[in-house]
A and B are shown apart, each in its own frame.
Chain A
Amino acid sequence: MPLLEVKNLQVRVEEREILHGLTLTVNEGEVHAIMGPNGSGKSTLSHVIAGKPGYAVTGGQVLFKGEDLLAMAPDERAAKGVFLAFQYPVEIPGVATMNFLRTALNAQRKARGEAEFSTPDFLKKVREVSKSLNIPQDMLKRGVNVGFSGGEKKRNEVLQMALFQPSLCILDEMDSGLDIDALRIAADGVNALRSPERSMIVITHYQRLLNYIVPDVVHVMSKGRVVTSGGKELALELEASGYAQFEDAAA
C-alpha cells in the first residue's frame, strides 16, 4: 500500500479552482520533489494535505496509510505522521520553544495512545538533535521563532521533524530566503532523517535544493496538475529549459 495517494484532487479557494484534478502517489521511503512555477498550486497541495483551513476540496481524495486524510483535523493528521515544514514558520511570542516542543510531542503521543515522554528523556533528545543542527540552547528558551533568522526558523522546523519522527515530511519551499550555508545545514538535517520508513515531498521552485536533497522522483506541476514526472535528471532539464514548455502542455 502506498503511504500517500492523492487521487484526482480538486481544490478551490473562495471561487477560484487552484487544483484541477491532481494525482500523486508516494511510496514508503521515497523522496519526491515537486517543482513548478509560481501559482502552479504546489503550496496549495501542501496546505491541503496538512489541513489548513480556507481550502474547499470539491473533488477527489487523499489517502494516507489507506485512511481518508481529508476527514481528519490537522492535529489528528500530525499524530498520524504528517509533518509540514512551513515555508514561512510563524513567530509565537510568549510560547517558549522548549515548552512548545514538549507540548506538541506529548499531544501527538497522547493522540496515539502512547505514554508521554519523561522530562529527562525529552531534554536529552532535544539536546542531541539541536546540537546536530547547530541550534544553540538559548534559542530554545526564546519564544517560538521570535527573533530567529530565516535559517534558524528552517532549522527549527527540521528540529521538530527529528523530534516528532513523522512518516511523511512535506518541505514547502525550504530553500526560500536561505543563503547557501544555511541551506546546507538544513538539508543535512533533512538527509539525516531519510529512512526506509519515512517519505518526503520536497516542494521547490529551484533545482538548487535538489543538489542537497536528492529526490527519487521529480514531478512538475503547472496550473493545478502534475504535467510530467521523471527521475532526478528531470530537475536538471528544467534548470536548462525552464517551465515554459510545461505551461503550454497544461493549457
Chain B
Amino acid sequence: MNVALVKTDKSRAGSDLFALARDRLPGTGKVAEVREQAFATFERLGLPHRRVEEYKYTDLRALMREVLPLAGAPDAAALARAKAALASVVVDGAAKLVLVDGVFAAGLSDTDGLDAGVTVQTLREALEAGKAELLETTVIDPMLALNTALATDGVIVNIGDGAKLSRPIQVIHVATAAKASRASRSHVVLGNGAQANVVESIVVAEGAAGYQANDAVAITVGDHAVLSYTRLMRDAADAINISSALVTVGAKSKLNLFNMTSGGGVSRLQGFITLAGEDSELTINGVNLLRAKQHGDLTLVVDHAVPGCTSRENFRAVLDDRAHSVFQGRIIVKPRAQKTDGKMMTRALLLSDEAEADNKPELEIFADDVSCGHGATSGALDDSLLFYLRARGLPERQAQALLIQAFVGEAIEAIEDEALRERVIDIAQAWLEARYHE
C-alpha cells in the first residue's frame, strides 16, 4: 500500500510540474498533443525503480526521488557564468552550439561560421512551426517520455548529402541553475555520403548545483555516411543526468560513438540504436571514471534490423571509493538480419573494496547465421604489473595511474580525431591526477 501511495504523490507532483511548465513549452496543436501523451506515459510509469527490469541497477525512485521544476530561461548573469564555463571544454576549431539550462544561447554559439551544407535550427523554432515529429519516438521509456513532454529547446543540426565537414561541430550543454531541472531534445541528421565529427560536452557553470538534466539527441545517419559522435559528460558532483540517444543508421555507413562519464552524482546514458541499412559498421566505446558515491549507468540497446551489419561495444569503468557503475548491453538480431556480427565487451577496474560494477549483457538472436558474443571482467589492478612498474622506479600511485590510463586508453584509442583524442586523454589524466594528490 505504501508503494501505491508514494506513486500517487509523485504523480501529483508531476502533474503540477507539467501544468506549471506548459506555458513555457513551445508548440501548439499536434506538438502539444504529443507532449500530453508523453506526459501521460510518464505519469502511468512514474519514476522507474529497481523492479523495472531496465532500471534494476539504477533505481531512480530512490536516487532521484522527484523531478524538480524546470529552470527558468537563463538571464544575463547566468549567460555570463555559462560563458566562463565554456573555456574549459571548447574543442579547438569546432563550431560551437551552446545550450544553457536547456535553452539555445545564440550569443555564445558560432552559427555564422558553419561549413557549407550545414544548417542549424533551434527546436523551439521548429516546434513553433508545428514539427511535432521532432518529439515523436517509438521508444517507450519513462525518462524519455518526460523529455518529450518537457523539452524546452535544443539544436537541430542538418548536414546535407555529400557534405564533408572540415571542422567538428560541438554541442555544449551548460548548467547554471541550482535545484531545477532541464529538458532538451536535439537532432543530428547526416545526409547520404556526408562525413562529420560531432562532440557533445556537458558541463557545469559556477554556482550551479543539485540540478537535474534530461537531454535527448536523435541521430540519423544516412547511407554511405561517416559520423563520429563523442560525448563527454562532466556534470556537477551532486547533479543528476538522465540522457537518451535515439540512433538510426542507414546502409554502408560508419558510426563511431564514444561516451566518457566523469561527472554527475547519478547519471545514465541510454542509447537505442537501430541498424536499419545493410552493411553498416557501428562502434561504441564507453568509459566511466567514477569516485566517491557517484553512480554511472550506460545502457545500450543495439537492434540489428537488417542483414550484414557489424557492431562493436567496448566499455571500461574505473571505480574508486564507493562508486557504482552499471553497463547494460542488449543486442537484438532480427530474423532477417543474417550475417550480423555483434560483439560486446565490458571491463571494470575496482580501485576500492566498496566500489561496485554491475554488468548485464543480453543477446536476443532470432537469425541463424550470425556471429555474436559478449564478455565481462571486473577486478583490481594486476599486482604483477604494479610490481614491474615499481621495480622500474615508479612510486605506487604513479604506477597505478599508468595502468589505469592504459586500461581506459584501449577505449579512448577508438576516437579517430587526434586533437579530440588528446583532449579526452587529458580529462582522464586530470581525473587520475586528482586521485594522485588526494
Q: Which residues of A contact B436 (CB under 8 A)?
A: none
CA distance A225 to B235 in the complex (A): 60
List CB contacts (< 8 Å) of A77-132 with chain B.
77-79, 83-84, 86, 89-90, 92-95, 100, 103-105, 107-108, 111
Q: Which residues of A contact B385 (CB under 8 A)?
A: 90, 92
Q: Is B107 positioned at the interface, with any CB of A under 8 Å from its CB?
A: no
Show the binding face of B for A, using Cβ within 8 Å.
382-385, 387-396, 398-399, 402-403, 405-407, 409-410
The smallest beta-carbon distance between A166 and chain B, in angstroms, is: 10
Cβ-defined contact, A75 with B405, below 8 A: no
Q: Which residues of A contact B406 (CB under 8 A)?
A: 92-95, 143
The smallest beta-carbon distance between A69 and chain B, in angstroms, is: 13
Show the binding face of A for B, using Cβ within 8 Å.
50-53, 73-75, 77-79, 83-84, 86, 89-90, 92-95, 100, 103-105, 107-108, 111, 143, 160, 164
Most buried by B among A50, A53, A73, A92: A92
Q: Which residues of A contact B384 (CB under 8 A)?
A: 90
Instruction: Give the nearest-CB partner of A79 in chain B.
Output: B393
Cβ-defined contact, A100 with B390, below 8 A: no
Q: Which residues of A contact B407 (CB under 8 A)?
A: 94
Known contacts being A93-B410, A95-B406, A107-B395, is A75 close to B388, with CB within 8 Å?
A: no
Total A-B residue contacts, Cβ distance less than 8 Å? 76
Q: Which residues of B contact A77 (CB under 8 A)?
A: 391
The smallest beta-carbon distance between B233 and chain A, in angstroms, is: 23
Say which residue of B383, B395, B409 sits within 8 Å of A75 (CB atoms). B395
Known contacts being A53-B387, A74-B387, A89-B388, is A95 close to B393, with CB within 8 Å?
A: no
The smallest beta-carbon distance between A174 and chain B, in angstroms, is: 15
Known contacts being A90-B385, A92-B385, is A104 close to B403, with CB within 8 Å?
A: no
CA distance A103 to B400 in the complex (A): 13
CA distance A83 to B407 in the complex (A): 26
Q: Which residues of A contact B405 (CB under 8 A)?
A: 94-95
Q: Which residues of A contact B399 (CB under 8 A)?
A: 75
Cβ-defined contact, B391 with A107, below 8 A: no
Q: Which residues of B contact A53 (CB under 8 A)?
A: 383, 387
CA distance A73 to B386 in the complex (A): 12
Most buried by B among A73, A95, A111, A143: A95
Known contacts being A92-B385, A94-B407, is A74 close to B398, with CB within 8 Å?
A: no
Q: Which residues of B contact A50 (CB under 8 A)?
A: 391
Say which residue of B389, B391, B398 sits within 8 Å of A84 (CB atoms). B391
Q: Which residues of B contact A107 (CB under 8 A)?
A: 392-395, 398
Cβ-defined contact, A74 with B403, below 8 A: no
Cβ-defined contact, A103 with B398, below 8 A: yes
Cβ-defined contact, A164 with B402, below 8 A: no
